[in-house]
Chain A
Amino acid sequence: MAILIDETSRVLVQGITGREGAFHAGRMRAAGTNVVAGTSPGKGGQVVDGVPVFDSVAAAVRDTSADVAVLFVPARFARDAMLESADAGVRLVVCVTEGIPARDMAEVTAHLTRRGSLLVGPNGPGLITPGRCSAGIMPAAVFLAGHVGLVSRSGTLTYEVVNELTLAGIGQSTVVGMGGDPLHGLGFLECLERYEADDETASVVLIGEIGGGDEERAAAYVNEKMTKPVVAYIAGFGAPPGKRMGHAGAIVDGSSGTAAEKKAALEAAGIPVASAPADVVPLLRQRLERRRSR
């Protein structure tokens, strides 16, 4: 079923009566998504673009069986919105919001883990299974349905690489933007495990950046457990230590979390690392051909 979302996903938009919520709800539907409900406290009973609005997530889930929630909620209310979705039994919570305090995210991830809900984000574009479901803000037009899984810490770099893939006629199974915050939901590891198990995914592109050790842990996993080919791209070789490069999580701490370190770890695990976004496609082709010729 690709991973995480497909045509059977029933999507709920939290904050659907806001400008962003309404805009992206429309775009998600245009991308083939089954948007079944929206929420906005105090605005239950309204209809936005044919989508019924509820006062609470619990009410929306009861009436529509929504299983995926996408939040368009300001940073200071995001914690509560994510907790509300998890408590209402939503399977997958997608948070696009940037600027959520680390304390809130620590509490949210701990609570969602106990509830058994998954989280994608925050501070990312969400995820998309091209042609079937978009849960977030990815520009569906640059995507093409196919068999490459892609997971990334950066929104625009995702679009760049996907654009190259699509122009080369290489489609994607599911593309996940895990977000640029240091504390986030699903990471490389959790996505790689799902791609490995997914019949529709034949190979994976991993896009990392400076900060933390997610790429290193992904490399170890690929080395030990993964049978499908993986290629990578890493951004931030020129980042000075101690400076946040746009994303809250993109920071070299002391001497750890550098791009060079990540590249070395990936290459040591047999994962080729592209030198520019445009080089991902030829690198992936090479890997797939080598595999075929074996």
Chain B
Amino acid sequence: MNDKRFLHLSTLYLEGAINDYDLDLLNRELADSPERVRQFNDLRLLTGLINEHGYAVEPDAPANLAANGLLNKSCPDFSVAGDLKANAGARFTSRRPIAIALGLLATAASLLLVLNWHYTNSQRDENVTGIATLAYTSQSSWEGRAPVLGEALSSGRLHLEVGLARLDFLNGATITLQGPAEFEILSKNKTILRSGILTASIPESAIGFEVVTPAMDVVDLGTAFGVSVGADGETDVCVFEGKVEVSLSDSVDTPRLVREGNAVRSRPKDATISSVDYSVERYEDAWPVTSGVLQATGLMKFVSPGPEFVPGRYEDSDHILIFPERSRVLLESELEVDVTDPGQYIRVGRRGRHSVAAGQVIRSYLLQLNPIGAFPRGETGGARVIGQLTFDRPILGLIGGTFHLTSTDEPLGHPLGDYGDTRRGIEPTRPNDLPDSGRDNVTLSRDRRTLSLDLSASSAVDQIRVVVSE
């Protein structure tokens, strides 16, 4: 259970609106975690404070100053109680005459001093450390102290002047900032984007992750999305996958649900959130980093995020397209692949039997060169494209043969992808071909993170599926 869910259940409990199932969850959460007990009591103390001192929310309410005057002199600690009691008297049916209470309170002054004895060691919140890690930067420059790569970040502000910076949260959320951006980590589940661009990928473990902006609160419901905040606070939210809830800042209205392929916009103080065209250009630099591709050079092109940019729906004859397909897939059985070891390959689809062991959590990408238009079988002259890309995690295997590609479309392919029935894969070499013959050529680096491709597509669609450790 993440923090937001826990807070929601605690709030429902205090409101008497929790159901039996959630009550059971809350019981178990509190039983298992001293931290949750502390958080639960943080909330109770806040409600106690509001009860005692929240009369400020009603500044025009008449206070019974006459009743409080005496108390304020003799017992400052009870002035608030008197205030509340006076206010309450007009609205609530108190069982006990005020006079009796006042008498008791006056007598109570000395005893209350006893009640207000010394306390246990302070448990006041300290800054939580290690909420996120600075996982990657590119051409980055920071205002103030620059965090170093791998540094554990606690709550606090970050001002990225230029470049990209990826933050990996301990709960699994991944955020990439694109400078100039002013960003603040409040907790492991809550952040503020005051200006700039971010893209986010939120796994199930971090559902409820919140990005607060000057105009809107964005709450993730298990998804990937981009947020852009202009200098004037105008905020755009674009949902790449899944769905998010958006609400105007400080609104008590029911949050609005935004599904994948949709975008909304609002400005500070606006009374509404408007739908706008789904446009992802501004996120195209940050999104690949969030998706695990740190660098793509040459004629590699990471596809735009969104339901239209999936295999079978999008073609580009000038680039090797990189489609992120699935993430956080647990291999329940051994996965057959064509390549597992570093090296240079010109017959990816015809390697011996290799496999990725069961029990690993992986993600998959499809790399594709698919020239627009059809070439007769055997005709040369199709596009030749060279490029290189680097992943944030080691590559566990490559799948380049039609059979293995087809058999892994269902478990590893994009849910919205249309993989068709054309010949696919890395073309096999012909007799007497040499490594530099211009045939499809794939190189996996020694550290297993960088893949170099030299592809020539003609009648077949060149595809290779990359299996990366999560």
- Same complex origin of A and B: no
A-contacting residues of B (Cβ < 8 Å)?
none
Interface positions of A (Cβ within 8 A of B): none
